[in-house]
Amino acid sequence: MNVDNIIPDPKDISRSIKLSKNGSTPSAGKAASMAKLIKDRDKLVRRAKAVATVWGTRDYDSGNAWDPFALALEKMGFTYTEITKISKYDAVEAGIADPIELLGLEDLL
């Protein structure tokens, strides 16, 4: 499987945005629950790329949304190199996500 060829769809981006705990930070608990429920390899890669785009891999006061996905990818047999590639994915840079939507600013337009 080539993880470079798996692209998140709008639903993945939307679900990642909804991991928000208070509108500005992700809920690590919601991310962990979501990551555990995904059993399809392609879907997990798509959703992990969406989480990396929306929340990055950094820690927030409310936790880290990326870590549960990295763990789920590892458990599913993805290599460190593949997980690193997935973590660096940027849907805005790839031209498939709207930065206005990601920032929740569409109501201001």
Give me the half-sphere count of Cα atoms (radius 13 Å) on the Cβ side of residue 41: 12
Q: Encode pLDDT of 32-49 as tens digits.
A: 999 999 999 999 999 999
Contact criterion met (CB below 8 Å) for 16 and 47: yes
pLDDT surpasses 60 at 109 = no
pLDDT surpasses 90 at 63 = no
pLDDT value at residue 94 = 73
pLDDT surpasses 90 at 21 = no
pLDDT surpasses 80 at 107 = no
83-108: average pLDDT: 73
63 DSSP assignment: B
Extract the tokens encoding 60: 């927030």
